Amino acid sequence: MFNVGGEFYAINDRCSHGNASMSEGYLEDDATVECPLHAASFCLKTGKALCLPATDPLTTYPVHVEGGDIFIDLPEAQP
């Protein structure tokens, strides 16, 4: 989860290009995150890959705030 100017974003922690942890990446002020392994950038709002070497998007998850609590809406687990 990322907090950019009070807006919260949740993404899959694995880069779509390599097996890097996106939570260890570099957060930019414009709601983009850069992979720490290959420097691919992604939009936190949409998950879209913004530059090579990544071409596939990251999975994003809806986030909502209720009072002081932050919730991530995850998909139901498949049996």
Q: Could you tell me the domains of the chain? A: 2-72 (2.102.10.10)
pLDDT at 25 over 90: yes
Q: Are the C-beta atoms of 30 and 21 separated by less than 8 Å? A: no
d(CA 60, CA 65): 16
Question: Who wins on pLDDT, 32 or 76?
Answer: 32
Confidence band, pLDDT 50/70/90 cuts, at residue 38: very high
Enumerate the β-bridge partners of residue 21.
Answer: 14
Q: What is the pTM of this model?
A: 0.88
- DSSP category for residue 17: S
Q: Which backbone phi and psi does 23 adopt, to 5 degrees?
A: -70, -15
pLDDT at 29: 80
